[in-house]
C-alpha cells in the first residue's frame, strides 16, 4: 500500500475522532473547482454506480479499459510498441478531488499516481497531473 493510500486511510479514520474530541461540527470546506474539473464526490458516485468503467487512449498511444471490481481495479492495455495486450489488477480510490490509482505492469514498472479529471466533451474526460494531460477517456455507461 502506498504512502498516499495509507495517509488517506488514516485521515478517514482520524477525522471523525478529531471532530468528536473538539466537540464541534464539521462544515463542508472544499476548494473551488477549476472550470470543467470533476469533483471527488462525482468520481465516487461513478465508482459506486458502475465501478468507474472507462476506456481511452494515453499520450503514448496505448488503448486501455479500466473498471473497479470487488477484487480491485482491473486495467487492460494494448500498446503499439508492446508485443501483446495485457490485463493487470491494481487499486484505485478517490482522495479529495483526485482519483489515485496504483498498478504494477508485466515489465515490473509501477504506476502510483493521483489525477485530476476534467470534462472536455460529451462523456469525454481528460486526466491531468498538474497541467499536463495524462490521458483521454470516455465513461462507459449504459
Domains and CATH numbers, the chain: 31-139 (2.40.128)
pLDDT tens-digit series, residues 11-38: 333 333 333 333 333 334 456 899 999 9
Nearest to 8 by CA among 32, 40, 36: 40
What grid cell was written down for 104? 504494477
| pTM for the predicted model, two decimal places | 0.74
CA dist., res. 76 & res. 12, Å (int): 30
Q: How confident is the model at residue 122 (pLDDT cuts 50, 70, 90)?
A: very high
Question: Tens digit of pLDDT for each residue in 89-109?
Answer: 999 999 999 999 999 999 999
Amino acid at each position: 500500500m502506498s504512502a498516499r493510500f495509507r495517509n488517506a486511510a488514516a485521515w478517514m479514520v482520524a477525522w471523525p475522532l478529531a471532530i468528536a474530541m473538539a466537540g464541534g461540527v464539521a462544515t463542508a470546506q472544499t476548494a473551488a473547482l477549476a472550470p470543467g474539473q470533476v469533483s471527488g464526490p462525482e468520481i465516487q458516485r461513478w465508482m459506486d454506480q458502475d465501478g468507474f468503467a472507462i476506456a481511452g487512449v494515453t499520450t503514448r498511444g496505448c488503448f486501455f479499459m479500466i473498471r473497479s471490481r470487488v477484487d480491485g481495479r482491473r486495467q487492460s492495455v494494448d500498446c503499439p510498441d508492446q508485443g501483446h495486450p495485457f490485463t493487470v489488477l491494481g487499486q484505485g480510490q478517490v482522495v479529495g478531488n483526485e482519483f489515485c490509482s496504483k498498478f504494477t505492469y508485466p515489465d515490473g514498472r509501477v504506476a502510483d499516481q493521483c489525477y485530476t479529471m476534467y470534462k472536455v466533451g460529451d462523456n469525454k474526460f481528460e486526466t491531468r497531473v498538474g497541467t499536463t494531460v495524462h490521458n483521454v477517456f470516455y465513461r462507459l455507461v449504459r
